[in-house]
A and B are shown apart, each in its own frame.
Chain A
């Protein structure tokens, strides 16, 4: 089945540093999504990407939809303590007449003040 390889698995950074994480797949997706999960809460959508090559920003967050449609990255600039959490990538594809999201295993981010 489809798999998303998300890396790194975890990151420990100092407040103010920039962060980069990415997802790759052997499958082509028509949409890439990035979610953030705060401790003890459900994942919340951060950014959605719909076109190959698309670069989208949301405040300090920037994400890109890879040209090959098989990868995406998320950058966080000038990290702050509230950036702590697990970041998930998700790819959307159509299979067997239905649509579904495939999730990466997450990148756990720790920000030291």
Chain B
């Protein structure tokens, strides 16, 4: 158990729908990062939050949004889903000083049918 909790583990939904992925960072970590990984692909950075504030955006579609709440958990909202949004979505957390890297959750596998 890495200490980063992601729910749900699996999600199957239809095109056009909206889903919310949830992440609880490791205790003490203020940063949360979201990544998308399509089949056998690398990790595509989506967005970074630090202590409730958006810090950096990567290749995140306008249909996607995220937020980090006062208790530091984060949610990634995916709307108007398309077949191509099917992927593994990872959340990672880190201390303010990223010397020790990021700690990843086990991911949410999203399947859009």
Which residues of A are interface residues toward B (Cβ below 8 A)?
A: 31, 33, 35, 40-45, 48, 50, 88, 90, 92, 98-101, 103-106, 108
Contact = CB atoms under 8 A, between A and B. Distances in A.
B90 to A, nearest CB: 5
A94 to B, nearest CB: 9
How many B residues are at the interface, by size bracket? Answer: 20 to 34
B98 A43 contact: no
Contacts, number: 59
A98 B109 contact: no
Interface string B81-98: 000000010101000011
Q: Is the contact region of chain A dominated by helix, strand, or loop, or is it mixed?
A: strand
Given A42-B4, A42-B104, A88-B43, 11 more contacts: A31-B99, A35-B104, A40-B109, A42-B90, A42-B106, A43-B43, A43-B104, A101-B102, A105-B42, A106-B42, A108-B40
